[in-house]
Amino acid sequence: MAKIPPGISPRQSEQQGQEFIAQVHRKMSKLVQEFAHGEINRTQFHQLYDRYQRQIMTVAQMIAESDPASWRDAIRDTEDTLNIKQRLTAKAVGLRVVDNRSGATIKTFGDFAIADEQIAPMLSSYRSAAAEIFRAGMRSAELENGQWLCFVPGSFTTLVALFSLEPSDSQLQMVERLHHDFEQANRAALETGPVDPQTLAYPFYSFVKRRTNPGE
């Protein structure tokens, strides 16, 4: 277990960890706006966004494991150390971004091995009822194989996330934020259409279990 710096209590260390997460969230929002305004390129966006997301997930995990003093060491550790610390939690196996107007798939990430004919009726039903029935517009459903589907609505697109197990509230919040940032970063392109997937920025790469090449 990491040592708490002199003069800092476990509670203070946890509070500092939460403040660190809030600070990184502000950096992510600024990064989204920088790409939206054309100030950085796609490669810069992907690398920086992935780095910020890994930091947040690491610190949040340390706090959740009632070991708040270790988060400072954890964010300085390598990716290998982070993998060792991972628990048997739900993994984002795949993500799919669907255009609300046409119903066409804009981009698929990871191993999204679900047939379109299985998704289509669920997506159609969800779109028509989400705003009225489901709290915050988000819905999760368990599949027969134990995996879970999560539908996240947006102004221009719907994000469909496939998890290996039932996702935690924090994971659902992360998915919702990723989708919000995707739409904000690409707002101009999504508003005007038609959408060219090759020109968009995607915050989703580091969240899926099997990552695609961020340089695509």
Q: Mind listing the pLDDT tens digit for each residue in 105-122? A: 999 999 888 877 778 787
- pLDDT (0 to 100) of residue 121: 80
What does the pLDDT look like over 17-73, one tens digit per residue? Answer: 888 899 989 989 998 999 999 888 888 888 888 888 988 888 888 777 666 566 666
- pLDDT (0 to 100) of residue 68: 57
- pLDDT (0 to 100) of residue 8: 57
Closest listed residue to residue 135, CA positions, set 173, 162, 166, 98: 173
Handedness of CA 199, 204, 206, 208 (dihedral sign): negative
Q: What is the DSSP letter of 208?
A: B
Phi, then psi, of 120 in degrees rounded to 5: -55, -55
Residue type, 121: P
Q: With a cut of 60, say whether residue 130 has pLDDT above it.
A: no
| pLDDT-based confidence at residue 10 (cuts at 50, 70, 90) | low
Handedness of CA 55, 58, 61, 62 (dihedral sign): negative
The residue assigned the tokens 């799919």 is 96
Mean pLDDT value across the chain: 78
Q: With a cut of 80, say whether residue 143 has pLDDT above it.
A: yes
